[in-house]
Structures are given as C-alpha cells and as structure tokens.
Amino acid sequence: MIQNIHLVIRAIVTQLSERIAGFILLTKMIPVSSIIYMGRKRLQRITSLSASR
C-alpha cells in the first residue's frame, strides 16, 4: 500500500516537472516583442483605470 502511494507521488511529480519544463520552453520561445506588447496592454489598462477614477 505504501509503495503504491510512493509510485503515485512519483508519477505526479514527473508530470508536474514535465509541464513546468514545457512551460519554460514555451516562454523562452515567445519573442520579446510579444512580451513588450503584453506589458504595454497592461500599462494602458492601468492608466485607463486610474483616469476613470
């Protein structure tokens, strides 16, 4: 029983690490321009919110 739990935990950990690695690869593959574009969009939203107040 305890061994089965260990196997399940190991499987979950490996899946999580694979997903994290994939996410890191995706974020590295995304060009810097899109990150800057997203940052500008966020800034515009913040400024519009402060202006509406």
Q: What is the pLDDT of residue 53?
A: 64
Residues in the chain: 53
- Cα–Cα distances in Å, from 6 out to 1, 16, 25, 36? 9, 15, 28, 43
Q: What is the pLDDT of residue 25?
A: 81
Q: What is the pLDDT of residue 3?
A: 81
Q: What is the pLDDT of residue 10?
A: 94
Q: Which residues of the chain have pLDDT under 50?
A: none
Q: What is the pLDDT of residue 26?
A: 80
Q: What is the pLDDT of residue 31?
A: 74
Distance CA 37, CA 14 (A): 34
